[in-house]
Amino acid sequence: MALIVQKYGGSSVADAESLKRVARRIVQTKRAGNDVAVVVSAMGDTTDDLIDQAISIDSAPPAREMDMLMTAGERISMSLLAMAIHAEGEHAYSFTGSQAGFMTDARFGAAHIRSVRPQRVRRALERGSVAIVAGFQGINADGDYTTLGRGGSDTSAVALAVALKADVCEIYTDVDGIFTADPRIVPSARRIPWINYEAILEMASCGSKVLALRCVEYAQRFNMPLHVRSSFSHRSGTLVIPEGFDASTLPNLA
């Protein structure tokens, strides 16, 4: 039995039908004999909509209140996804970043993870449930909610995978892996079957938006294998692994 952390971005959970599709994939992974923890982003354009609403009220909103507002989007998607998994016949618990043990510094809007203490997530997994965690957020030493900035859900997923000692962290997006160029712009772009941390860090530093820079740095520091895939297909995606790593040992490759 493997422990798999899956992360689903906003485009993957944009509406009710998308949430149901993601729930079916999660249940399929669990019924294949794996323990599954999930990190989820806010649905679709929810975060941008919340920002627009805030700016319409106060052109310079307080950073603390912005973070309090921003964490709402992931709380909606995590609870709806738990319901969708229940409708598929499995049990799931949803957790905010603070409930999942994400401790951060006090930089509102761009907080850094200081530690992850996922005791409640572990207990849910031990009971045979799917554990769903709100990405992009945590709590500081004063008990205030914080957010990790753009790409924060990717970083949340890797940090959770490391804390749980997962076998792999799967990053689900709306493209079939990492390509030589953006396939939505360059139709002839080729999928890269596997890539090492150094190469993907160079791509991220040059503006590639497939993975957040901090997410890859975190994965490299702890040698956490990443599997970048599309939530809209079952194609093989791209593995981000250390040089010389035996990819055949990873679960859920099909």
pLDDT tens figures, 240-252: 998 888 888 888 8
By CB atoms closer than 10 A (0-12, 13-18, 19+), residue 185 is exposed
How does DSSP classify residue 179?
Answer: B
Cα 105–216–20 angle (5° rounding)? 90
Residues 137 and 74 sit within 8 Å (Cβ to Cβ): yes
**CA distances (Å), 227 to each of 137, 155, 158, 240, in order?**
22, 14, 11, 6
Is the pLDDT score of 114 beyond 70?
yes
Q: Residue 12 — left, alpha, or beta (φ > 0 → left; ψ -120 to 50 → alpha)?
A: alpha
**What's the predicted TM-score (pTM) here?**
0.95
Residues 13 and 22 sit within 8 Å (Cβ to Cβ): yes
Q: Residue 207's pLDDT band (boundaries 50, 70, 90)?
A: low
Please report which residue ranges of 110-239 form alpha helices under DSSP H.
119-126, 152-164, 197-205, 213-222
SS3 45: coil
Contacts of 175 (CB under 8 A, 6+ apart): 183, 184, 210, 230
Architecture of domain 3-249: 3-Layer(aba) Sandwich (3.40)
What residue type is 55 in one-letter code? I
SS3 96: coil
- Residue 57 tokens, joined: 């009220």
Which has the higher per-residue pLDDT, 243 or 143? 143
CA 215 to chain centre: 10
Per-residue pLDDT averaged across 166-181, rounded? 92
pLDDT of residue 150: 81
Contacts of 165 (CB under 8 A, 6+ apart): 3
Is the pLDDT score of 213 beyond 90?
no
Q: How many CB atoms lie within 10 A of CB 150?
A: 14
Residues 93 and 129 sit within 8 Å (Cβ to Cβ): yes
pLDDT per position as a tens digit, 12-38 = 999 999 999 999 999 999 999 999 999
